[in-house]
Amino acid sequence: MDLLIIIGFVVGSALILMEAFMPGFGIAGIVGVILEVVAIINVNSKLGSTAALIATFLVLLLIGVAVFLSYRSAMKGRLSKSPLVLKDEESAAPAASPMSELEKWVGQDGIVATPLRPAGFIEIGNVRLSAATSGAFLEKGTAVRVQGVEGDHLVVLRK
């Protein structure tokens, strides 16, 4: 087999797999795909169209594996811990209640559940609610009173 075909497949495959663990589609992936295409063209000219079709199928299978590994890494693996992948930092917190439901908390006392700097969460009873101060920073465990509702969160003051 021709050395150019082997180098094209081996180096191209390595670059495509390397691209799977790097965010975005960059130079490594583009060069890898170009090397794979050159290798397939050489396979077609030297070994015929059946061999080129099999090589194309194998390259597409490799690209599918690379996309799967990249997706899995972005969701659960090393890439998911990267600051380049956007995450919803408050996904563990419960969603804000609708405005009409928030009105019932006005005038009630609660405890700061996360530091309010000036926004965070408070607890009233066993219910966790989004809250903010008028600018003051309050530490966890501080007693507060709900003064009103502003948008999707409660406005609180130190008790």
The predicted-structure confidence for 124-145, as pLDDT tens digits, reads as follows 988 999 999 988 899 999 999 9
Three-state DSSP at 132 gives: strand
For the chain, the domain total comes to 2
7 and 57 inside one domain: yes
Residue 89 lies in a domain: no
Write out the residue range of the structural domain in which residue 40 sits. 3-81
Residue 90 lies in a domain: no
20 and 74 inside one domain: yes
148 vs 6, 41, 65, CA distance in Å?
Answer: 70, 70, 53
107 and 153 inside one domain: yes
72 and 10 inside one domain: yes
The pLDDT score that the predictor gives to residue 81 is: 62
In the predicted model, what is the mean pLDDT of residues 139-159? 91
Q: Which residues pair with 144 in a beta bridge?
A: 110, 158
Residue 88 lies in a domain: no
Q: Would the pLDDT of 31 be above 80?
A: yes
Asked which of 8-12, 18-22, 45-49, 90-94 is least confident by mean pLDDT, the reply is 90-94
Q: Would the pLDDT of 84 be above 80?
A: no
Q: Which residues pair with 122 in a beta bridge?
A: 112, 129
pLDDT category of residue 88 using cuts at 50, 70 and 90: low
23 or 37, greater pLDDT:
37
Residue 47 lies in a domain: yes
Three-state DSSP at 46 gives: helix
Tell me which residue of 122, 114, 115 sits closest to 138, measured CA to CA: 115
Cα–Cα distance for residue pair 134/115, rounded to 1 Å: 14
Which of residues 81, 112, 142 is at a domain's end? 81
Token pair listed for 47: 């070994």
Residue 77 lies in a domain: yes
> Across all residues in the chain, what is the average pLDDT?
81
